[in-house]
Structure 1
Amino acid sequence: MKNDTKTKSNDNQSLIFSLYDAVSTDGAWDDFVQSLALQMEAHISIMVSIGPSTFEQSLYGNYNFNAAAVQAYSDHWWQHNVWLQTIGQNNLLQKGNVMIGTDLVPADKLKQHTFYQNFLLPTSTWSIC
């Protein structure tokens, strides 16, 4: 059990160092996003910056996400992101607030949404953190 705790601590520390590198080194966001995805056992990950009032976003990093899908998200789909809408409607963009996609929108509700049907499903993306 101690080894699991030590491994988890090392993984967390490595992730924090990766974040510091991303903040201070041009082009390092993709490495951080990959580290985060691996830590969360995700097969795809993107990181966006959300504007405080408009929810306009800019892409910071990408891991294993099709370039055409990244472009489609940046050009159009971010405006229909049901997770961002839920965050805005419920004032969840708060310091220290960490949630996964199903905390924001239950899977059955997500699957009914246009964002899921026309963007997430074709890109094989099902969850976020």
Structure 2
Amino acid sequence: MRVMVFVKASEDSEKGAPPTMEAFEAMERFNEELASAGVLLAGAGLKSSASAKRIIYDGPARTVTDGPFAETRELVAGFSIWEVKDMDEAVAWAKRCPNLMPGRSEVEIRPFLEETDMADLLSALGDDARDTLGVA
């Protein structure tokens, strides 16, 4: 099972405050453990929302909004993609993750929508559409 782990932004991360060297080294060790266990597929930290853009879709219309964005608790400061056997394993790993920022932090784990989750839709599509989407 693949999951995406979102590290939520904090007021400090949105101000561009880097983690301490100690916190950074702790995260590096944690990522090495994930990689050694074959769990870590990808991951990165993200710049603050001041350098972000949002595109709002409303039918055919597109509106671009420049950051920064006000609702810090809704922003993502980093992500990882993990391969785990189930959500319990993902939670166990996430509980071991060091907190990079002083004070309260939040991580969200969400499973990927996999091909098996869309089996009915894919079987209804037909071979040409499945080939176009790159699925068997």
TM-score by length of 2: 0.26
Larger radius of gyration: 2
TM-score by length of 1: 0.27
Higher relative contact order (CA 8 A, sep 6+): 2
Greater fraction helix: 1
Greater fraction strand: 2
